[in-house]
Chain A
Amino acid sequence: EVQLVESGGGLVQPGGSLRLSCAASGFTFSSYAMSWVRQAPGKGLEWVSAISGSGGSTYYADSVKGRFTISRDNSKNTLYLQMNSLRAEDTAVYYCAKDPLEMATIRFDYWGQGTLVTVSS
């Protein structure tokens, strides 16, 4: 059974940093691209970033480019999102999501339950 478990969310001040993690199990992690998708309170879904299975290709939404970095450790079956220079508008539940292919098609067949990031002073 595919399982994706996010962690690392919390309250952070504007301008601060936070690193999210997503622990994967139930599938061969290195064989699939992964993404982060966020949802602000009461709002719709917004794709944030994607990474190929090998980690060699990364993609970002314009809203986070230059501030967020996606990475993965295939030996630990873990996906990461390093978030710097955080803004109030980054407040959201952050989901990790699995792609059905190794290359990042940026579509999602499995999702984690999400971790809440709140950016506030």
Chain B
Amino acid sequence: DIQMTQSPSSLSASVGDRVTITCQASQDISNYLNWYQQKPGKAPKLLIYDASNLETGVPSRFSGSGSGTDFTFTISSLQPEDIATYYCQQYDTLCAFGPGTKVDIK
């Protein structure tokens, strides 16, 4: 089974800050990686697919990069509405989610 790790598990940043989350797969998953945002009490929402493609309607301050085993998710300028937990997900072999990164406003 492919295992996914994320770091950090939580972070606190100021409005306008650049925020970076990393995700690592236990084996090569090419670019079969998505990023989701989940706000409290809500369903997850797809932000980035195939590692670096922005889902339609998602603000351009969100971006993703990487391939193979190492991936990065970035919010270029953190906004109050970005408070959420962010999950990476591989779909190279079935499906596995990372444990999530909780983002708060400092």
Contact = CB atoms under 8 A, between A and B. Distances in A.
A73 interface: no
Interface in B87-106: 87, 89, 91, 94-100
B43 A107 contact: no
B34 interface: yes
A112 B42 CA distance: 9
Nearest to A111: B43
Interface residues of B, number: 22
B82 interface: no
A111 B97 contact: no
Nearest to B93: A106
A44 B100 contact: yes
Interface string A46-73: 1100100000000101100000000000
A106 B44 contact: no
Interface centre among A45, A50, A109 (most CB of B within 10 A): A45
A28 interface: no
A47 B94 contact: yes
A97 B98 CA distance: 17
A contact residues, range: 20 to 34
Contacts of B91: 105-107
Contact of A111 (B34, B45, B49): B45
Given A44-B87, A105-B91, A107-B89, A114 B43 contact: yes
B100 A106 contact: no
B53 to A, nearest CB: 11
Interface of B: 1, 32, 34, 36, 38, 42-46, 49, 55, 87, 89, 91, 94-100
- Closest 10 interchain pairs by CB? A47-B95, A111-B43, A106-B95, A45-B97, A107-B91, A106-B91, A44-B100, A44-B99, A109-B46, A107-B34
